[in-house]
Amino acid sequence: MDEHIEDKPTPPPSRFRKVFQKNWSKIAALTLIFTAILFGVGYIGLEGSSSSKFCSSCHEMKPEYYTWKASSHSEADCVSCHVDPGLENLAKAKADGAKEAVKSITSTYTAPIVMPKEIPDSACETCHNMNNRNTTPSGDLIIPHDRHKNKDIKCTQCHSGVAHGKIAERKVTFKTDYSKWDESLGNAMMSDRKYIKPEMKTCMECHSARKVSTACNTCHTTGMYPASHKKEDFKLASHGMDAKTQLKECNDCHEYMSTEEIKLFDDMPAHDKYLQAGRITDKQVSVKDYAKVNTFCEKCHMQPPPSHQKGFTAKHGAIADENPDKCLACHDYQNNGKTKNKIVTCNSCHPSNHSDSNWRVTHPVKIPNGGRPSTYCYSCHSKKNCTSCHQE
């Protein structure tokens, strides 16, 4: 007798299963919409956090943000230069950014902000063609970028300040008050062109190291000989007057003709000036002081001019009274250590002499009885000689 095997009855579907079977198409559609929203929000968040405005949400990044906004690269977002192309690199950068955000919240960040790596040439070349970029906008400079590229010279070796004005190197972001950084301060920081444009010093040092000519016409189509220098009276008459109003422009070229470094223009950082006065002012340097430290000027200034002929000694006092600044371009009242020993000063021939009992009356400035030497006295007299007898 065959054994009859009875099939087990199929259990009735659960309530959830009935609902799912009945509405599976709706559930699938909702799932798809939810997934799309999730990815969309993620993508929007990724895009939003990649905007340059987002960078300034961390207050310690405000100096970088506002200097970038004032720069010629303000239309290129931060990620264009600081993040390598590709979604994977962008995601990695955002992950690193999240870590920095935690440091910002917990005040464990490092200031000033330092780039994790140099900006590669490939980032610059997405906008700039190195093969046909032969001149700068000035129209005078000869800068064959393709030759520099072939010598493996990186873009940032010359253009490191183009977007942020070298604010980290200038140390203006160290222990700064970030709340004071705004568009005005960003514009002020980017107003000093020497931190934005390539420095001639960089060109000269690189050319010297690579045994490339440093003659003016190597890089300048005009030979850099200004029209004012071609005037007949320029050398003996007008150059000093021109220098009074254009000394910084003179220094742009002549500092490289001096065998000694010119430090007269070194001054308080622009950031400190702005915070103190709300504006940027240039340090004022006198022409006579400049002529004494630049060895290029010295070549002519140490030669007696045509006026210093026989019989000049008897007339020089009256001439000096008419225009003392003209004399002081080469001479000084005294050798106070700031000028070279070989420079003839007033006290070289006119030392203090008290042998005449009536010297207080004949002295150009009235000296009261019992008066002691003061700082004003040393504008003409030698402090070292005076204090050997007198006590201040």
| Cα separation, 348 vs 316, whole angstroms | 14
Q: Is 15 a residue whose pLDDT tops 60? A: no
Structure tokens at 22: 């009945």
For 176-186, the pLDDT digits (tens) are: 788 888 899 89
CB atoms under 10 Å from CB of 46, counted, come to 14
Which pLDDT value is given to residue 47? 47
Which pLDDT value is given to residue 112? 59
Query: What is the residue extent of each domain of the chain?
Result: 23-224, 226-330, 347-392
Q: Is 168 a residue whose pLDDT tops 70? A: yes
DSSP letters, 359-383, are: HHHHSSS---TT----TTGGGTS-H
Among 165-179, 180-194, 335-349, 362-376, name the one with the lowest average pLDDT.
Answer: 335-349
Among 63-67, 82-86, 95-99, 240-244, name the one with the lowest average pLDDT.
Answer: 95-99
CATH number of this structure's domain 23-224, picked from the four choices 3.40.50.1000, 1.10.3820.10, 3.40.50.300, 2.60.40.1890: 1.10.3820.10
Residue of higher predicted confidence among 246 and 25: 246
Which pLDDT value is given to residue 200? 83
For 297-315, the pLDDT digits (tens) are: 887 887 887 788 888 888 8
Reported confidence tier of residue 70, pLDDT bands at 50, 70, 90: very high
332 SS3 class:
strand
Q: Is 44 a residue whose pLDDT tops 50? A: no
Which pLDDT value is given to residue 327? 82
DSSP letters, 213-242, are: ---HHHHBTTTT--GGGGSTTIIIIIHHHH
- Maximum average pLDDT range among 288-292, 300-304, 326-330: 288-292
* Residue 37: Cβ-neighbour burial (10 angstroms; 0-12, 13-18, 19+): exposed
Are the C-beta atoms of 280 and 192 separated by less than 8 Å?
yes
Whole-prediction pTM = 0.52
